Structure 1
Amino acid sequence: MEVRHTTNPTDVKQYDTARLRQEFLIPSLFEAGQVKMVYTHYDRMVVGGAVPAGEALALEAAETLKTDYFLERREIGFLNIGGAAVITVDGEAYELDKLDVLYVGKGKREVKLASKDASNPAKLYFCSALAHAEFPTRKMTREEANPNHLGSQETSNERILYKYIHADGIQSCQLMLGVTSLQKGSVWNTMPSHVHDRRMEAYLYFDMAEDTRIFHMMGEPSETRHLVVANEQAIISPPWSIHSGVGTSNYTFCWSMAGENYTFTDMDVVQPSDLK
Structure 2
Amino acid sequence: MQVRYSTSPTSAETATTADLRDTFLVPDLFVNGEVHATYTHEDRMVIGGAVPGTGQLDLPAWTDVLGTESHLERRELGVINVGGAGHVIVDGEKFELEHLDGLYVGRGSEVAFAGEEAAFYFVSASAHATYPATLLSHEQVEPVALGSPEAANERSLFRYAWGQDLETSVLQFGVTVIADGSVWNTFPPHLHARRTEVYCYVDLAEDDRVFHFMGQPGHTRHLVVRNRQAVIAPPWSIHAGAGTGSYAFIWAMAGENNCYTDLSPVAVDDL
Range class of TM-score, shorter chain = over 0.9
Give the structure 2 partner of residue 144 of structure 1. 140
Give the structure 1 partner of residue 59 of structure 2. 59
Between stretches 159-168 and 15-24, larger displacement belongs to: 159-168
Name the amino acid aligned to 2:83: G
Q: How much has 1:272 moved relative to structure 2? A: 0.6
In structure 2, runs of 5+ residues without a counterpart are none
The TM-score normalised by the length of structure 2 is 0.98
Q: Which deviations, in whole Å up to 9, do the C-alpha atoms of 1:194-226 show, x marking residues without a partner?
A: 111100000000101111111100000021100
Q: How many residues align?
A: 270
Between stretches 14-23 and 145-154, larger displacement belongs to: 145-154
Give the structure 2 partner of residue 249 of structure 1. 245
Give the structure 2 partner of residue 3 of structure 1. 3
Q: How much has 1:235 moved relative to structure 2? A: 0.4
Give the structure 1 partner of residue 30 of structure 2. 30
Aligned Cα RMSD in Å?
0.9
Whether contact under 8 Å (1:156, 1:186) holds in the other structure is: yes
Give the structure 2 partner of residue 79 of structure 1. 80
Whether contact under 8 Å (1:4, 1:40) holds in the other structure is: yes
Name the amino acid aligned to 1:99: L
In 2, Cα distance between equivalents of 1:197 and 1:77: 22
Q: How much has 1:92 moved relative to structure 2? A: 0.8
In 1, Cα distance between equivalents of 2:7 and 2:162: 27
In 2, Cα distance between equivalents of 1:87 and 1:261: 27
In 2, Cα distance between equivalents of 1:162 and 1:248: 22
Give the structure 2 partner of residue 103 of structure 1. 104
Helix, strand or coil for the counterpart of 1:39? strand
Describe how 1:98-247 pairs up with structure 2 within 5 A: 98-108=99-109, 110-115=110-115, 118=116, 121-247=117-243
Whether contact under 8 Å (2:12, 2:221) holds in the other structure is: no
Name the amino acid aligned to 1:66: G
Name the amino acid aligned to 1:92: E
Q: How much has 1:111 moved relative to structure 2? A: 1.0
In 1, Cα distance between equivalents of 2:243 and 2:254: 26
Name the amino acid aligned to 2:95: Y
Helix, strand or coil for the counterpart of 1:18? helix
Q: Which deviations, in whole Å up to 9, do the C-alpha atoms of 1:168-201 show, x marking residues without a partner?
A: 2322110000100011110011111111110000
Name the amino acid aligned to 1:97: E
Q: How much has 1:143 moved relative to structure 2? A: 2.1
In 2, Cα distance between equivalents of 1:67 and 1:27: 25
In 2, Cα distance between equivalents of 1:88 and 1:249: 34
Is 1:16 paired with 2:16?
yes
In 1, Cα distance between equivalents of 2:210 and 2:188: 17
Whether contact under 8 Å (1:163, 1:169) holds in the other structure is: no
In 1, Cα distance between equivalents of 2:124 and 2:253: 10
Helix, strand or coil for the counterpart of 2:130? coil
Structure 1 vs Structure 2: percent identity of aligned residues? 52
Whether contact under 8 Å (2:88, 2:111) holds in the other structure is: yes
Q: Which deviations, in whole Å up to 9, do the C-alpha atoms of 1:13-55 show, x marking residues without a partner?
A: 1101000000000111100000000000000000000000022
Give the structure 2 partner of residue 46 of structure 1. 46
Name the amino acid aligned to 1:25: L
In 1, Cα distance between equivalents of 2:261 and 2:12: 27
Q: Which deviations, in whole Å up to 9, do the C-alpha atoms of 1:143-163 show, x marking residues without a partner?
A: 222111221110001111100
Helix, strand or coil for the counterpart of 1:11? helix
Between stretches 191-200 and 5-14, larger displacement belongs to: 5-14
In structure 1, runs of 5+ residues without a counterpart are none
